[in-house]
Chain A
Amino acid sequence: MTLRTIVSACLVAGAAMMASPGLPGLVGSTMQAAAAAATLGDLSNFRKIVVDTQALVEKGDLATAKTRIKDLETSWDEAEPSLKPRAASDWHVVDKAIDRALAALRASSPTVADCKASLAELLTKMDAASAAS
């Protein structure tokens, strides 16, 4: 076997790898069609944590709010393998909104206004992503 055949074999294999998600063509296309209409489904467990955190922020208890939203970070990360394939772009929108809410609550001197705004935005994004289509 020459070097050239090996390198080209690797490149072909690489190209096949990249195309591979579509290898079972039927499965791929039906899933894509499903993904286009899909949303993230039931997010009520995550929503509840956001609502709890909002209530704590309303009371001005930012320290407890910061602890509560940690539950969201943990459970959201844990559910990633299940939720993300349902609608990857929606997942990223919510994920980014969670990051912003975490950043607001974890700021070195967090403000009630920032926390309120980011949590309200997060709730909007969550509801949009979980709404039945």
Chain B
Amino acid sequence: MLNKVPAATAIFWTIKIMATTVGETGADYLAVHVGLGTALTGAIMAALLIAVLAVQFSADRHRPWLYWLAVVLISIVGTQITDALTDGLEVSLYVSTAAFTVLLALTFGAWYATERTLSIHSIVTTRREAFYWTIILLTFALGTASGDLATEALGLGFEVGVIVFSAMIAAVYVAYRLGANAVLTLWLAYILTRPLGASLGDLLSQARPYGGLGLGTIATSAVFLTVIVLLVATLTLGERRMTARAD
């Protein structure tokens, strides 16, 4: 089996942040505008995610559209899980942030204990793939909870949020360039892109009187989805060309 997941390139991070925004605004849109309610919306998205992950697991190699479809759906479901805990079960954001952190550490621990590596460059077995996607789901849930906690506890709005989370990601990048552990910095950045993507989405979608650009959730999601589709199409074409050359 070839590596089933992409390397962390600039395009990777661009799509990841946009997928995060679409996850946040998409989850809101489905719950509020489509009027299906949070429970039914959550069930539909979870079912879709399971179906897409089943296809991703059975694929013989990395397919960008499949991978990124799974990430967008995980982004929506990860957000819905945290929202359900916070709004439905009234779990404190301090508790959910701590719980997701512990779960994430335990999953990394189990991953390392069985595979002796946490590298994303060798997701070549179904078991490693299972660890990988579990981690991805947990980073989205943790990113949502810690981002919401920043809003609740510190009054961190999206305008400051964009700056703060960008600065934190920049700090992680500098640490990586200075020789900090590549695996650790990758996953830290992965968690931080969740609140960054949410703040960015809010900045575009929120009304002008509130300091946003006033695009609304529908236009913002549509713009980001379009960019995601274009970038994924570029990746797919690039891969075809490479495969053709290899043949």
Instruction: Write the residues of chain A forming the contact surface with B, with a CB cutoff of 8 angstroms.
Output: 1, 3, 6-7, 9-11, 13-15, 17-18, 20-24, 27-28, 31-32, 34-35, 38, 73-74, 77-79, 81-88
Contact = CB atoms under 8 A, between A and B. Distances in A.
Contacts of B217: 78
Interface of B: 28, 32-33, 94, 97-98, 101-102, 104-105, 108-109, 112-113, 118, 142, 146, 149-158, 160, 164, 167-168, 181, 184, 187-188, 191, 198, 202, 205-207, 210-212, 216-217
Contacts of B112: 3, 6-7
10 contacts: A10-B104, A10-B108, A10-B109, A14-B105, A18-B146, A20-B168, A23-B164, A78-B28, A88-B153, A88-B155
A86 B108 contact: no
A38 B155 CA distance: 10
A21 B156 contact: yes
A9 B101 CA distance: 12
B210 A6 contact: no
Nearest to B33: A74
B168 A23 contact: yes
B32 A73 contact: yes
Nearest to A15: B101
